[in-house]
Structure 1
Amino acid sequence: MFPSMASLIQFLLLILYLTHESQALSFHLPNALVLPITKDVTTLQYVTRIHHGTPLVPINLVVDLGGPFIWTDCASTHVSSSSRLIPNRSIKCSRAKAHGFESNSRLSSTQTCELFPENRVTRMSTRGDLVEDIVAVQSKAAGSITTVNDFLFSCGPTFLLHGLVGGTKGMLGLGRTRISLPSQISTALNTAQKFTICLSSSNGIIAFGEGPNDSIFGTEISRSLMYTPLVTNPGDEYSIQDYFIGINSIKINGKLLSLKATLGASKLSTIVPYTTMESTIYGTFIRAYVKAASSMNMTRVASVAPFGLCFNSKGIDSTHEGPKVPIIELVLQSETVMWRIFGRNSMVQVTKEVMCLGFLDGGLNPKASIVLGGYQLEDMLLQFEMGTSMLGFSQSLMKRQTTCSNFKLDSWAGE
């Protein structure tokens, strides 16, 4: 009896030990890899910071959701002892050129791999060299960083910085290519090809890799995401690196817009400040919005550039989701999957007494009939699953009385 009792006690102690070790192991697993985002109030661009080179130094870059890769003004940054030019016609050069961002290799007279970095704000592009170096990304917890060796990016000349936020040294591409930041992190760390972005009017965050959402944003928010397929835009063969979703129809306060034009693939952009619509779609949209606003006793006032529709903000009630104005619903693959845009993401307060609808006329025959701009993407969770070509999106976080600026990072581990 006593030996069996002793064995039982030993067994229970072993279970307790293994449970403790399991919890300890789980606790010490790598945290989510994250980058901070700040919004520049003058240019309305979103800026992040990475650390790179030997020694590691910080560099500020403009976030380009659909950008094919990172490009920097290498001439104005520090000289890194670990930086190396990539030879032409090498495996890494071929990998970088998989999406056509290069000059013709057979016609190239250089021995280095050539790409064409583009300032997608000014739409200026020029020749640049493909290089590799060390890049460091912070984990969620302070004191922990992850380095990626042999990280590929492009050098660009100083004049390419024109139009970007002062102090930035290039652009950080998150697009659907083999050498964008998410793809290279996924390859280097053998994690899922996905990332989550949470923009704000002040501070936001980008999280990379598998399963970071619960730990950063909370289980309730992370598990409330709706999903829609990421599609391609047949009318724009040069934007295969961008993220598009299919919008079937638009409703305002529950009423369906009668649109003659086909909506098709709509692009998501952090470079375009406010949503743009093809002119005929925009015209129908504005007329329907004016009608809905009138039924809510909103008073129209003179337009304030660049906006085409403005209202007197006096008398408009405030809610958790911003001013109480008509709700815009983008109907995606079915009536049960809708992207709802409340007042916080539809109205822009331009003066103390005037607010304007943050949707602009995109002209006739644009490459994408609708481009969802940065303002409409703020304070909601967007999870881009590149491997499965799906987009997970939350409703406005303000409905849960929080914002993307609440997800703060600890200080950089190396500073």
Structure 2
Amino acid sequence: MSHPSSAFTYLYTSPYQLVPMVVSVRPFFWSLLSLLISSSIAKTSFRPKALVLPVTKDVSASSPQYVTQIKQRTPIVPVKLTLDLGGGYFWVNCEHGYVSSTSKPARCGSAKCSLFGLHGCSEEKICGRSPSNTVTGVSTYGDIHSDVVSINSTNGNNPGRVVSVRDFLFICGSNVVQKGLASGVTGMAGLGRTKVSFPSQLASAFSFHRKFAICLSSSPMTDGVMFFSDGPYNLNMDVSKVLTFTPLITNPVSTAPSAFLGEPSVEYFIGVKSIRVSGKNVPLNATLLSIDRNGLGGTKISTVNPYTIMETTIYKAVSEAFVKAVGAPTVAPMAPFGTCFATKDIGFSRMGPAVPAIDLVLQNEEVEWSIIGANSMVQLNDVICLGFVDAGSGPSTAQVGFVAGGSHPMTSITIGAHQLENNLLQFDLATSRLGFRSLFLEHTNCANFNFTPSA
């Protein structure tokens, strides 16, 4: 198997954008993607309506990661992957222990290469892109390959038969880029808005609706779930029937650790118009909530950042409003959090800590994403903290993405994984909209999918 070629050179223009010195650009249409990938489905009379994967909260690394497991290669082996909601690509470490008789390189000039948009070409005439570890911010160059991938089908209630895609595209990573992932994890599953992300390839292979849904469990002892295609999403009830919807927004500038100049972001942005605490508007510089022509500002959703990160002025305004609404004294902060209380001063209910809701007001005054106590607070022994982090003091630049030469984050608000737990999020790539619902409102949780296979 070919590995990253040292002959390929990048010209770095900033810490977050790079230009290849050899690139290939080809036009692409979704019909081509469907034709190319659909032809790679393992021959079978069974065509699934949806697919399902378990999602485990892994706390073995320095911060929580949300991990799934697929089957890949010939002979087939289990492969653990960290989920990256905004990642554009599936990559796996080919440098250590990758053996497969069905792995095939993508040759320069091929239709497979064109699916990746801008890409490089090695001396061996294999096209490639940069696999990025968005946990650490490390990127390298890697060859593009395809191989067999297998996954369980589902009717929305249980796992069903295993189905396979013969030519599932991925990028070869290395030991260097793998470093920092959770124990046993050898790559990342990008779920972002590209033609070769996990959801896009599976939708094309099986002629699905271009939708997927993710539901993160709050406990490492119980699995959450991810669905590919439309509902039902049965978590003691069909959650797909109770979703609230808001448009997804495209940032014209990539916010990834590495990207080609001119590429838009493949992450998921939503239009937060204002923020309320306990029903009252928080005074903010509203221009920070919009995305400008340089790609700065706005609100995105991340499974890689463990907690919500806010630009400093936004964080301070929300924190001050929250402390006032709680009405309890604060205590010394505990990193990375800046707003903490004594646990004894905070009550508890079925919805978690009994604190005021933090509402993200979306496209109009009637649509809100309400962050309740279970998602807004983090328990640290006898101290309980607001689970939001000031971008000016706490987060890693690798995970957030900062403006080159400065201390300001490119994105004003990054909604982190703790705030997503026990919420079902449906991403509709065809209509560019997000469906969301807190499962606390439905008296259920993300661990309630029945992973017992159907007969």
Say whether the 8 Å CA contact 2:357–2:372 is kept in structure 1: yes
For residues 137-156 of structure 1, what are the structure 2 equivalents within 5 Å? 137-140=151-154, 141-142=158-159, 144-156=161-173
Say whether the 8 Å CA contact 2:212–2:227 is kept in structure 1: yes
Identity %: 47
Out of 280, 287, 294, the residue aligned to residue 255 of structure 1 is 280
Out of 182, 199, 203, the residue aligned to residue 186 of structure 1 is 203
For residues 152-301 of structure 1, what are the structure 2 equivalents within 5 Å? 152-202=169-219, 203-213=223-233, 215=234, 218-219=237-238, 221-234=239-252, 236=254, 238=259, 240-262=265-287, 263-264=289-290, 265-294=298-327, 298-301=328-331
Pair 1:134–1:217, CA change in 2 (3 A)? farther
Say whether the 8 Å CA contact 2:309–2:390 is kept in structure 1: yes
Say whether the 8 Å CA contact 1:204–1:408 is kept in structure 2: no
User: Structure 1 residue 136 and structure 2 residue 169: aligned?
Assistant: no
Pair 1:135–1:370, CA change in 2 (3 A)? same
Pair 1:217–1:30, CA change in 2 (3 A)? farther
In the alignment, which residue of structure 2 is the partner of 1:19? none
Per-residue deviation at 1:94?
1.1
Q: Give the letter aligned to residue 355 of structure 2.
A: V
Instruction: Write the distance in 2 (CA, Å) between the matches of 1:384 and 1:347.
Output: 25
User: Structure 1 residue 116 and structure 2 residue 130: aligned?
Assistant: yes
Per-residue deviation at 1:407?
1.6
Instruction: Write the distance in 1 (CA, Å) between the matches of 2:97 and 2:425.
Output: 32
Pair 1:326–1:142, CA change in 2 (3 A)? closer
Say whether the 8 Å CA contact 2:50–2:208 is kept in structure 1: no
Instruction: Write the distance in 1 (CA, Å) between the matches of 2:421 and 2:200.
Output: 23
Per-residue deviation at 1:366?
1.1
In the alignment, which residue of structure 1 is the partner of 2:28? none
> Residues 233-276 of structure 1, C-alpha deviation per residue, up to 9 Å, x if partnerless?
24546562100101000000001011124212211000000000
In the alignment, which residue of structure 2 is the partner of 1:313? 343
Give the paired residue count: 373
Say whether the 8 Å CA contact 1:236–1:367 is kept in structure 2: no
Instruction: Write the distance in 1 (CA, Å) between the matches of 2:127 and 2:451.
Output: 36
- Higher helix share goes to which structure? 1
Instruction: Write the distance in 2 (CA, Å) between the matches of 1:339 and 1:143.
Output: 33
In the alignment, which residue of structure 1 is the partner of 2:15? none
User: Structure 1 residue 302 and structure 2 residue 307: aligned?
Assistant: no
Per-residue deviation at 1:408?
3.7
Q: Give the letter aligned to residue 376 of structure 1.
A: Q
TM-score relative to the length of structure 2:
0.78
Say whether the 8 Å CA contact 2:356–2:373 is kept in structure 1: yes
Pair 1:234–1:69, CA change in 2 (3 A)? closer
Say whether the 8 Å CA contact 2:88–2:190 is kept in structure 1: yes
Say whether the 8 Å CA contact 2:145–2:169 is kept in structure 1: yes
Give the secondary-structure state (helix, strand or coil) at the position aligned to 2:152: strand
Pair 1:324–1:161, CA change in 2 (3 A)? same
For residues 303-382 of structure 1, what are the structure 2 equivalents within 5 Å? 303-351=333-381, 353-363=382-392, 364-382=407-425
Instruction: Write the distance in 2 (CA, Å) between the matches of 1:208 and 1:41.
Output: 25
Give the secondary-structure state (helix, strand or coil) at the position aligned to 2:423: coil
Say whether the 8 Å CA contact 1:261–1:281 is kept in structure 2: no
**Which is further off, 334-343 or 70-79?**
70-79
Instruction: Write the distance in 1 (CA, Å) between the matches of 2:435 and 2:181.
Output: 29
**Which is further off, 189-198 or 356-365?**
356-365
Larger radius of gyration: 1
Instruction: Write the distance in 2 (CA, Å) between the matches of 1:267 and 1:148.
Output: 31
Q: Give the letter aligned to residue 367 of structure 1.
A: M
Q: Give the letter aligned to residue 310 of structure 2.
A: M
Per-residue deviation at 1:74?
1.5
Say whether the 8 Å CA contact 2:54–2:68 is kept in structure 1: yes
Pair 1:252–1:397, CA change in 2 (3 A)? same
TM-score relative to the length of structure 1:
0.86
Pair 1:225–1:302, CA change in 2 (3 A)? same
User: Structure 1 residue 52 and structure 2 residue 72: aligned?
Assistant: yes
